[in-house]
Amino acid sequence: MATLKRWVLRRRPVGEIQPGDLELVEEPIRDLNDGEVLVRTLYLSLDPTNRIWMSDQDQYMPPVEIGDTMRGGSMGVVVQSRSDKFKQGDVVNPGMGGWTSHVVADAAMVFPVRQMPGVPLTANMSVLGGTGLTAWFGMCDIGKPQPGETVVVSAAAGAVGSIAGQIAKLKGARVIGIAGGKAKCDWLTGELGFDGAIDYKNEDVGAALDRLCPKGIDVNFENVGGDIMDAVFNRLNNYARMPLCGLISTYNDPDRPSGPTDFARVLMHRINIRGFIVTDFLPRAGEAMAELAPWVAEGKLKWKVHVDQGLEGAMDSLQRLFTGNHDGKLLIQVSPEP
């Protein structure tokens, strides 16, 4: 009998994820019902929000329940179908397929992956997937950078930050990225065309912001939280916009650090702060893709994908998100592409 492997949440992590918080189990694949498909996972997306879903804190989706498959976005290939909608060999997006080698899914909840000539399949998990949508809606719908304005992006060498910064450049803004390490900063200012980069591991962020943003900051695309967020926040101009995409520096901290120390600045400078989740914008995905796809086709938008091999190493791979030991979008290749 054919089997699948899946990671199961056994207990809620306290602080950093520890061995035993999740368990890899193997079990038989059940028979399909009418209208269902069996999808072999090709790629699994690893994202900071995975850590939030493991907890029972207040969040935008129900937490993963103890004993359930760890939630995660994936892309796969149909290996068996009892639906007229898909045939064997179709590359599909089963949504939150989870940390599993195979997914049995209702075909109505599965969507075809449209492949762009000359573009790697993994782009559909990054610049042409949820990552690109997050960057586009956060920057264009909330940040709304104007020509000549100054935009700061934290975690700027990450999956979302690197794309968000490039979008701001395409809209005519000055863009300063914050990243960890000289190599990442050089990538931002070299290949991606950022106007400046701050290495938070080796320089004072506040002093660097004063040097690179002498007229203040108009848009803060926030991915990190903590002290870095505070340094940017304290330099926001009148009517600045702050798309709040993530707070990754706090996700392993059980004490949940507070927000900006000078919260009165929101009032005094009429700052617009908006937290957002990409799923809120999915009905409008076509708007974003109308710009993202041509930019990719024309080579105006660059991206990186870091691919680890094997579902078995998912827990170790996830730690890369919190150490910065990766470039761009973090994926696990679970099985070979068709």
Whether residues 141 and 276 share a domain: the answer is: yes
Whether residues 105 and 247 share a domain: the answer is: no
Residue 176 and residue 194 in contact, taking contact as beta carbons nearer than 8 Å = yes
Range of the domain at 211: 130-281+289-295
Say if strands 36-45 and 102-106 run parallel, antiparallel, or are unpaired: antiparallel
Whether residues 237 and 313 share a domain: the answer is: no
- CATH number, domain with residue 272: 3.40.50.720
Whether residues 241 and 320 share a domain: the answer is: no
Q: Span 308-314, mean pLDDT?
A: 96
**Digit-coded pLDDT (tens) for 118-164:** 999 999 999 999 999 999 999 999 999 999 999 999 999 999 999 99
List of E strands, 139-216: 150-153, 174-179, 196-199
Whether residues 40 and 138 share a domain: the answer is: no
Instruction: Give the number of other Cβ atoms within 10 Å of residue 295's Cβ.
Output: 18
Question: 261 in a domain, yes or no?
Answer: yes
Confidence at residue 249, expressed as pLDDT on a 0 to 100 scale? 82
Whether residues 186 and 98 share a domain: the answer is: no
- Tracing tokens 């968000």 back to the chain, one arrives at 164
Query: Residue 328 — very low, low, confident or very high, per pLDDT cuts 50/70/90?
Result: confident
Which tokens sit at 313? Answer: 């190493």
Q: What is the DSSP string of 278-311?
A: GGGGGGGHHHHHHHHHHHHHTT-----EEEEE-G
Amino acid identity, position 184: K
Residue 278 and residue 287 in contact, taking contact as beta carbons nearer than 8 Å = no
**Digit-coded pLDDT (tens) for 50-65:** 898 999 888 888 999 9
Question: 325 in a domain, yes or no?
Answer: yes
Q: Rounded to the nearest 10 degrees, how much is the dihedral formed by the CA atoms of 211, 212, 217, 218?
A: 160
Instruction: Give the number of other Cβ atoms within 10 Å of residue 17's Cβ.
Output: 18
- CATH number, domain with residue 310: 3.90.180.10
Confidence at residue 210, expressed as pLDDT on a 0 to 100 scale? 98
- How many Cα neighbours within 13 Å face the side chain of 156? 38
Whether residues 276 and 325 share a domain: the answer is: no
Whether residues 111 and 136 share a domain: the answer is: no
Confidence at residue 60, expressed as pLDDT on a 0 to 100 scale? 85
Whether residues 157 and 88 share a domain: the answer is: no
Confidence at residue 301, expressed as pLDDT on a 0 to 100 scale? 96
Instruction: Give the number of other Cβ atoms within 10 Å of residue 51's Cβ.
Output: 17
Rounded Cα distance between 213 and 211, Å, is 6
Whether residues 98 and 144 share a domain: the answer is: no
Question: 140 in a domain, yes or no?
Answer: yes
Question: 34 in a domain, yes or no?
Answer: yes
pTM value?
0.91
Angle at 122 between CA 121 and CA 125, to 5 degrees: 120
Say if strands 236-244 and 217-221 run parallel, antiparallel, or are unpaired: parallel
Whether residues 76 and 148 share a domain: the answer is: no
Instruction: Give the number of other Cβ atoms within 10 Å of residue 95's Cβ.
Output: 13
Question: 338 in a domain, yes or no?
Answer: no
**Digit-coded pLDDT (tens) for 248-290:** 887 777 666 667 889 999 999 999 999 999 999 999 999 999 9
Whether residues 138 and 269 share a domain: the answer is: yes
Question: 237 in a domain, yes or no?
Answer: yes
- How many folded domains does the chain comprise? 2
Q: Specify the DSSP element, H or E, that contains 151.
A: strand 150-153
Instruction: Give the number of other Cβ atoms within 10 Å of residue 39's Cβ.
Output: 28
Rounded Cα distance between 176 and 136, Å, is 17
